[in-house]
A and B are shown apart, each in its own frame.
Chain A
């Protein structure tokens, strides 16, 4: 059976951050099987495809007979590496074409080369074999590793170019041998590999997903496959939310979205299955209407499919293939995007729903991929967690992005907020030591006192400056009606300092708030104090309980919200415009309804956006929302997604119960204090990923159209993406000129 060739094969070891490094293991290996024209598709562009050899080999050194498959390696090396090594190349060629042979030659494998890998069979958990389907030229495999849960880059079998597949295909046709008889698939490269693999490992086909094969499964693996898969997905997800967020550093990590998509797919199938079986028939019917259910039907076990058999179900099942095809294309689109933007891959890349759908909207007809993102909220950042992130000098010793990720997914423990907000509000730099922060604090304290003294000791200003007096009155009035139900501002235990005032009583906190706002009024000469700022200040004041820190925290918050308070309202218009574009882009039906009800000016969102949802949520809940928004973790303008999520979560009522501007406005106003934060945040995150995916898909299709349309004669049906929408993906403040227009 063997062609004995000795190779130095790279051994793959896992290092942190989802990356995979390749190290040489000096043991000798002999090729058992080799297949040419197996490609990695790093992007969707054909020119980027990398051709290589997939091989099975036996290692003497690795042998550990107690573990099945520990001495057999599955490897892939690119052609480019073999190009200048004709001798090595012939080793692979011979192994592919010769059924017998005994040439012994050494070949070299590079220390580190993109995408090449070599893994022992015992470290492979499962392999997904995806045969070629219509419209999708190449079959491919995805190898899932056992311990890490990692997946290797998908390998595509270009069967039409591969000599061994062509030859062997002919042979089995002659012999009328077809291993995929029942499923009716044609012979392809993956089948060839599967047949070879079966010689060296026991492969078990999953009952839930016929394309998934468990490699050398333990009895527990087989029995517990369902629960293992569930746990794996869940723990992966947990890992994602708390571990260092990945930037694509290695070739393999950029394939994460695809891997997760597949993991998630199996998760949903199982989850939905269990749910469906618990429901009664009418419930099942209702579920059938759900777009998530529609897409997973083909995955459901046959028994259930029989139960659910109907014309409609049949039709949906037929639509499944194009849907899956799009999943693949979408996932690769994401990969491409993450490469081009150098942004992080999507952690929660999703489960796939609706098949191609013609969207009847202003967006024009185009195939739309809906991704149901599975998003999970986490525990808040705890004191212990926070403290453990700092070294002895009080300097943060973990990646800032990781901290932000934890806060984004779970908020901050209330008692810790005072410590963390100064960082989030840019009072302290993240890389400062505790000593440096002490110095910063002292200088900020002094600066605040200086600023305050400037108006406080200016008697002329206090009595003659009309603007100052007007602003002081305004602040006075507003502080006396800001969060008076909060214990800090509830009791009036001091007489009002001005006997002429219409207010008779006050308290220390209210007086401090007034001073801070007056100081801010003098400090921000462009805006001064504007109504709404007292609402923004109160949570910072209560959280910090320190005047100087509060003032500078307010300055930090106002850097973010400055545009909201511009005299010409351009900042608010820009945000309402952005939100309008987002709704139109994501939910044309809702948008049409808002237009029909004269509500597309989105005035109903004005208060939410102006004061950052201050009036929409109760105190403690609001603080948690601010924790999340302050991180800029997914988007600097994440509040737009929160606003959109609020609309989405109430869309049924809006669509069915509102018919005019006043009703819509009233409905939104009345939501105040009744909104549940966690579901809203989950929805917002899902919306974000859906938005990002949809944008990527359109961009990709746009590019494809441009490439295929060389003379530029075809007209595109794809929507144009407004710059405001693209800005939603930015995690730092987009640049606008003072008038609010984008530079």
Chain B
């Protein structure tokens, strides 16, 4: 399975529809921005090789659909994740309010062996938009992060390429640390298999 290949770090990007998950990912991997990204349906991923502490690792970044209706599909690829990137739009308070539900849902579906210490990171995207449209302040976001175990926080703009590379350097570091600590546990689980079993039984009903 992909998540268990040596030095392949699996990262899941979550957040409300339209906050810019696809854009952030593409800005990081391809260093470009397009306003023509379509709403993500299902899931897709991009990979990028990065150097972390003199180690070459491959980041596999999973982009997902943002409407909560499609959250239940996460089982197919949340498992084996090494880091979860939460994204909200600083100009959209609802996207900030739903962060907890994304985080909880991820922990349930991915069921990492270390839910208390599993690495999350928060990105407040679209900071390029004029200041008067901003609806979530930086302090509010920092408070959120503090309350959830010092989650690293970055204010980003996928459009203007602000802070995106920096954010993902941190992602890579956190993911690598998590993989090292989680290595043994991961080798004994075959989570997608379990999922398949449950779907299999449902199809003969």
Residues of A whose CB lies within 8 Å of any CB of B are 470, 473-474, 477-478, 481-482, 484-485, 500, 502, 530-532, 534-535, 565, 567-569, 573, 576-578, 580-581, 595, 598, 600-601, 603, 606-607, 610-611, 615, 660-663, 665-666, 669, 722, 724, 741
Contacts and interface: CB of A to CB of B under 8 A. Distances in A.
A573 B202 contact: yes
B18 to A, nearest CB: 4
A562 B23 CA distance: 30
A603 B41 contact: no
A610 B40 CA distance: 12
Interface string B52-93: 000000001000011101101100110000000000000110
B196 A600 contact: yes
Interface stretch (B42-50, B107-115, B176-184): B42-50
B73 A660 contact: no
Contacts of A530: 67, 69
Chain B, interface residues (CB within 8 Å), range: 35 or more
Given A470-B94, A577-B199, A722-B204, A531 B42 contact: no
B143 interface: no
B191 to A, nearest CB: 9
The 10 A-B pairs with the shortest beta carbon distances in the complex, nearest first, are: A577-B203, A477-B18, A606-B42, A662-B2, A607-B42, A531-B67, A598-B192, A603-B76, A607-B41, A484-B36
Nearest to A568: B72
B65 to A, nearest CB: 6
Nearest to A478: B39
A531 B65 contact: yes
Given A482-B38, A610-B42, A665-B43, A565 B69 contact: yes
Interface in B103-127: 126
A378 B38 CA distance: 33
Contacts of B77: 603, 661-662, 665
Given A603-B73, A660-B2, A661-B2, A502 B38 contact: no
Given A500-B133, A577-B202, A531 B43 contact: no
Given A581-B203, A722-B204, A601 B192 contact: yes
Nearest to A477: B18
B1 interface: yes
A610 B45 CA distance: 19
B133 A601 contact: no
B94 to A, nearest CB: 7
A577 to B, nearest CB: 3
B41 A606 contact: yes
Interface in B162-205: 192-193, 195-196, 199-200, 202-205
B182 to A, nearest CB: 19
A606 B69 CA distance: 14
A425 B36 CA distance: 29
17 contacts: A477-B18, A477-B39, A478-B39, A481-B37, A481-B39, A531-B67, A535-B38, A569-B69, A573-B203, A581-B203, A595-B196, A598-B192, A606-B43, A611-B41, A661-B2, A662-B45, A724-B203
B129 interface: yes
Nearest to B44: A669
Interface of B: 1-2, 17-18, 35-39, 41-45, 60, 65-67, 69-70, 72-73, 76-77, 91-92, 94, 126, 129, 133, 192-193, 195-196, 199-200, 202-205
A599 to B, nearest CB: 9
A562 B117 CA distance: 41
B16 to A, nearest CB: 9
Contacts of B92: 473
B53 to A, nearest CB: 25
B38 A615 contact: yes
Contacts of A576: 199
Contacts of B193: 598
Contact of A722 (B41, B126, B203): B203
A626 B41 CA distance: 19
Residue in B17, B41, B42, B129 whose Cβ sees the most chain A Cβ within 10 Å: B42
Contacts of B17: 474, 477-478, 531
Contacts of B18: 473-474, 477-478
B108 to A, nearest CB: 16
Contacts of A500: 133
Contacts of A502: 91, 126, 129, 133
B189 to A, nearest CB: 13
Contacts of B129: 502
A484 B192 CA distance: 36
A503 to B, nearest CB: 10
Given A477-B17, A662-B60, A531 B70 contact: yes
A573 B75 CA distance: 13
A535 B126 CA distance: 24
Nearest to A577: B203
B41 A610 contact: yes
A738 to B, nearest CB: 15
A666 B199 contact: no
Contact of A661 (B1, B67, B199, B203): B1
Contact of A567 (B66, B69, B192, B205): B69
